[in-house]
Chain A
Amino acid sequence: MDALDRKLLRDFARLWAQFLAIALVLAAGVAIMLMSLGMSRSLEDTRDTYYERNRFADVFADVRSAPRSMLDAIGAIEGVTIAEARVTTRATLSIADKTGTTVAHFASLPESGELMLNVPILRSGRWPDPLSTSEVLLNEPFAEANGLRPGDGFTANINGAERELTVAGLALSPEFIYTIGPGNLVPDNEDFGIVWMPERALSGLLGRTGAFDNLAIMLRPGFRAEPVIEELDRLLEPYGSWGAHDRDTQTSHSFVEGEITQLQVLAYVLPPIFLGITVFLVNMVMGRIVKLERTEIGLLKALGYSKLTIAMHYVLLAGLVAAVGVGLGWIAGSWLSYGLARLYAQFFDFPYLVYNVSWWPYVASGLIGFAAASAGAVNAAMKAASLSPATAMQPPAPPRYERNWFDRAMVALRLSQPSMMIVRSIVRWPLRAAFSVLGMALAVSILVASNFFPDALDEIIDTAFWQSNRQHAMLYFNNAVPETALEEARRLPGVVQAEGQQYFSAILRHEHREKQTPIEARRPDADLSRVVDTDGQIINAPPDGIMLSERLAEQLGLGVGDLVEIEFLGSQQGTYEIPVTRLVTQYFGLGAYMDQETLDRMFQQAPQVSVINLTLDASQRDAFEAALSDVPMLAGSMMMDENRRSFEDTISQNVLVTTTTYLLLGALITFGVAYNGARIQLSERARELASLRILGFTRGEVAYILIGEIMLLAVVAQPLGWVLGWFFAKSMVEGFSSDLYAIPLILNPDTFASASLAVLAAAFASVLLVARRLGRLNLVSVMKTRE
């Protein structure tokens, strides 16, 4: 081994703590990059393979009931390669020994026995006999959550008829990677399932023999969906079309897609912060090392080492730091990816493992890690290379301090000498101070941007579950039923209060924009389900127009006073121009609200309901739930407390993991910046500090100078961190907003305070580690040697 290489390894071993602090920051960047790039790709690949192998449809359409003879015309639409008709419905299930309501989505299996599109993968058991009236396929997660195995039986209330069914097999489908029941906020495999039933039996029960109500279509590769959707809507309109749509609004697909997007956003936002700080830290530390090794560099040059050899010597030292950082990053990134894969297994139902990070994210993150460290070392390496041997052997000129207006201001403030030393050092190296401040501010901002989630969720839960939805239970019907259903609901055991609502499927249009969304018909006296804006104000639907949620209005480019064209789909059809009379700010959904009586008059219909909200006497809850399976036409029901609990459980677990991870990341940055800053100061100021000790300053008084500078920078970093954190939180809120929900930007003082406390504490701990070295300062030898 060359002597120079040996020096390299020894320098690395000697400065291990400083290098480790940098390597940890780099490792955080590499780990996040590896996880987000690797997992987004892995998720995308797994999904695409699944879609392709099991022929996930490109376009979907729902219709009240259309004759099968339409399929020829649909198949003839330009771009359509496969059109498959299905019969679907929602029904309640009774499972032995299970209380509470269970709802399932039923879909038909063709008589030919094999589906052409959205083909389920059989996981166990066998396919149902196409001619059987009782055999069904269940989605595997639902069966597992309810302890159902092939051969087991359960009862379904389909279209008012009780039917004993037998599980023939368990399956997974690309259509239901993410399965979410009506009105639920997170998947609930125990209470919502998918049932595939032979078409003959299902359409017989629904009275739809020779007809279909759901369509799946595969397009020619690369063919646009829009013209097909338009043509479909035109063809199906006479049969009560609810509008065709592409994959983007298919629930399962949009959730998986959303997750992939989030991972990609993560890959672009966080790693650059960590890599940037790595560049700064390497630059600062290598700069100091070159300064300290001035005479050695001079000697090496005098001995005949080339500029390149010397420059590479320092670049390689940074390379060793990168090697440790990248290695740790790979380990942490693999572990994070594995954890994420387990989380996905909880939410997404794939037939194969999602965790399959390929080699290239390792290579990419590794290369970028090395590039960051090298970039940080370049400046110092160039300085080392360009030192002339004669100058290098001379001691460096002492740093020059100058008096300026700032200095005079400080003198006027009568600061103590140690305080003056702190402030002058900051002013003397403003760039270094600025980057240290920026680094710690970024740490604060990461904490602010992650800590605000719990507060936002509290607000969401309060608005969604306590302000808006005060009912204890909701009953859903497949189609609107006469208002007399309210009377029947009141007669169910334990019901205290019952109120109805009706939903209309519609397409809203304004200029060139359109959006398909249900319109909620509301009664002005509704007390259980209320429209509440983000200020907590209760708002009634206006009798003279339509009220829109701000998000929907924004998507359509609408304001109060504009006319919106509404095309009603399904049972009540027709196109109307209705003025927007009010906007409301909401966290969930794309709400559109009209007055029930106005709509009844418009459609000349007797009052109807499609949802009934109930309050219950808690003591009779079991009797109530038992009686539900006898309610005719019931498509489903939901107990609000269960919905809330499952939302809170899912979210709180994730919030804990997320906030802990970010706390760790913030602490790593702070440690990297504060520890290295203090070490360099100690190295630069060893003489000064030793002089003060000799003059009789105590260890504490000397430590004050060391700790003071870093802590002053840390304090200055706070307001900047708050602003950056606010900015990040705002970007995250905007990035995460979807049609389903918006996260409110709730930044309470305690969010800022806890982020600041965490960073200040981490900075203080890091500096204390360095301050302990003051005890080891050899006063005599420091004073005996020339700087």
Chain B
Amino acid sequence: MNAPDRSPVFRTEGLTKVYDTGEVKVFALAGVDLELFAGEFAVLLGPSGSGKSTLLNVLGGLDSATEGHVWFRDLELTALADRGLTRFRRDHVGFVFQFYNLVPSLTARENVQLVTDVSINPMTPEEALDRVGLAHRMDHFPAEMSGGEQQRVAIARAVAKRPEVLLCDEPTGALDSKTGVQVLEVLRHVNDEMGTSTVVITHNAEIRRMAHRVIWFQDGKIVNVDVNTERVAPSEIAW
């Protein structure tokens, strides 16, 4: 089990995100200072609306901050325009969502190829699918696969470009416990083998046990950070 080194991949300073509806201002993020480290497996926990997803979206270049700064290594994301953020996502980030968001008109292999076609140093789609245990389902369309399989294709698609960070928003939210565990194993495997910094948002407190660090959110702020001295294997998790 590789422990993370201490160089930060992400660093935020006073990160604030306000949704202004005209009548009320909602502080989705209210000044977050955080560092996430290379090779780290971090789990974000907290109630709905506590700011986890907003943070993930800003880190991934999907959303912009109202105030504060975010750096990806030396690159200040908060200074980038759309074109720069697109470039950043293409080169450095892999995403996994609750609803797998595969392209239904492309097979598993082709869905992965979407990424490998535009990446600088990708693995082959076959290798990526093999890593998630789907080598035998490569030529199936999404409609022909189970939810767990579809999510594993989504992970293969996310990691195929060898991203430095993998951002997962409720990756097991739509899955039953058994399939969920399979997906977690794939995430763990990617984190271990490839050293990909992984951030996972979940409502499932059990999953925290497999993280290096657990970051607790409430009302747009970090209220607590736990460091697990002992990490459990996904197979030991059940819900």
Q: Which residues of A contact B (CB under 8 A)?
A: 397-403, 416-418, 420-421, 424-425, 428, 687-688, 690-699, 701, 779-780, 783-787
Contacts and interface: CB of A to CB of B under 8 A. Distances in A.
A785 to B, nearest CB: 8
A417 B99 contact: no
A418 B101 CA distance: 15
B71 interface: no
B60 to A, nearest CB: 8
A601 B93 CA distance: 102
A783 B97 contact: yes
B118 A696 contact: yes
B12 to A, nearest CB: 18
30 contacts: A398-B142, A398-B143, A399-B104, A399-B105, A399-B143, A403-B139, A417-B110, A420-B105, A420-B106, A691-B101, A691-B102, A694-B60, A694-B89, A694-B95, A695-B115, A696-B86, A696-B87, A696-B89, A696-B115, A697-B114, A697-B118, A698-B83, A699-B86, A701-B118, A780-B53, A783-B99, A783-B169, A784-B169, A786-B99, A787-B99
Nearest to A399: B104
A425 B62 CA distance: 27
A687 B106 contact: no
Contacts of A424: 105-106
Interface residues of B, number: 38
Nearest to B144: A400
B234 to A, nearest CB: 24
Given A400-B143, A695-B115, A688 B103 contact: yes
B69 interface: no
Contacts of B98: 784
B106 A780 contact: no
B91 interface: yes
Residue of B63, B83, B114 ringed by the most chain A CB atoms within 10 A: B114
A421 B97 CA distance: 21
Contact of A420 (B53, B110, B142): B110
Contacts of B95: 694-695
B90 interface: yes
Contacts of B72: none
Given A397-B143, A779-B62, A428 B105 contact: yes
Contact of A421 (B106, B141, B157): B106
Nearest to A701: B118
A421 B143 contact: no
B10 to A, nearest CB: 17
B117 interface: yes
Contacts of B111: 417
Contacts of B53: 780, 784
Given A400-B143, A403-B139, A783-B99, A695 B90 contact: yes
Contact of B114 (A399, A428, A695, A779): A695
Given A417-B110, A688-B103, A693 B86 contact: yes
B176 interface: no
Contacts of A425: 105
A418 B53 CA distance: 29
Contacts of B91: 696
Interface string B70-114: 000000000000110011111101010111011111100011011
Instruction: List the 8 closest A-B pairs by CB distance, nearest first.
Output: A696-B90, A424-B105, A696-B89, A691-B101, A417-B114, A398-B143, A401-B141, A400-B143
Contact of A417 (B82, B101, B113): B113
Nearest to A782: B101
B62 A780 contact: yes
A687 B141 contact: no
Nearest to A395: B99
Contacts of A695: 89-90, 95, 114-115, 157
A698 B91 CA distance: 12
Nearest to A702: B86
Nearest to A427: B105
A403 B108 CA distance: 13
Contact of A694 (B62, B102, B103, B142): B62
Residue of A397, A688, A701 ringed by the most chain B CB atoms within 10 A: A688
Contacts of A401: 104-105, 141, 143
Contacts, number: 92
Given A398-B142, A694-B89, A783-B97, A416 B117 contact: yes
Contacts of A779: 62-63
Nearest to A691: B101
Given A417-B117, A695-B90, A400 B141 contact: yes
Contacts of A428: 105
A698 B87 CA distance: 8
Contacts of B144: 400
B57 interface: yes
Contacts of A697: 86, 90, 114, 118
A688 B106 CA distance: 11
B142 to A, nearest CB: 6
Contacts of B114: 417-418, 692, 695, 697
B104 A398 contact: yes
Contacts of B103: 417, 421, 688, 691-692
A425 to B, nearest CB: 6
B94 to A, nearest CB: 9
Nearest to B85: A696
A547 to B, nearest CB: 66
Contacts of B101: 687-688, 690-691, 694, 783
Given A694-B89, A698-B86, 11 more contacts: A401-B141, A417-B110, A417-B111, A421-B103, A687-B101, A690-B101, A691-B102, A692-B103, A695-B89, A695-B90, A780-B63
Contacts of B117: 416-417
Contacts of A698: 83, 86
Given A403-B139, A780-B57, A783-B99, A417 B90 contact: no
A458 to B, nearest CB: 49
A418 B89 CA distance: 18
A786 B113 CA distance: 24
Nearest to A402: B141
Interface in B115-132: 115, 117-118
Nearest to B157: A695
Nearest to A785: B99
A697 B113 CA distance: 13
B62 A417 contact: no
A744 to B, nearest CB: 49
Contacts of A687: 101
B26 to A, nearest CB: 15
Contacts of A402: 141
Residue of B53, B82, B83, B99 ringed by the most chain A CB atoms within 10 A: B99
A691 B94 CA distance: 11
B79 to A, nearest CB: 19
A251 B9 CA distance: 91
Contacts of B139: 403
Nearest to A684: B104
B31 to A, nearest CB: 21
Contacts of B157: 695
A399 B104 CA distance: 7
Contacts of B142: 398
B225 to A, nearest CB: 25
A470 B76 CA distance: 81
Residue of A417, A698, A699 ringed by the most chain B CB atoms within 10 A: A417
A494 to B, nearest CB: 76
B191 to A, nearest CB: 20
A431 B128 CA distance: 37
B105 A421 contact: yes
B108 to A, nearest CB: 12
A692 B101 CA distance: 9
A687 B98 CA distance: 13
A780 B113 CA distance: 23
Residue of A398, A420, A694, A784 ringed by the most chain B CB atoms within 10 A: A694
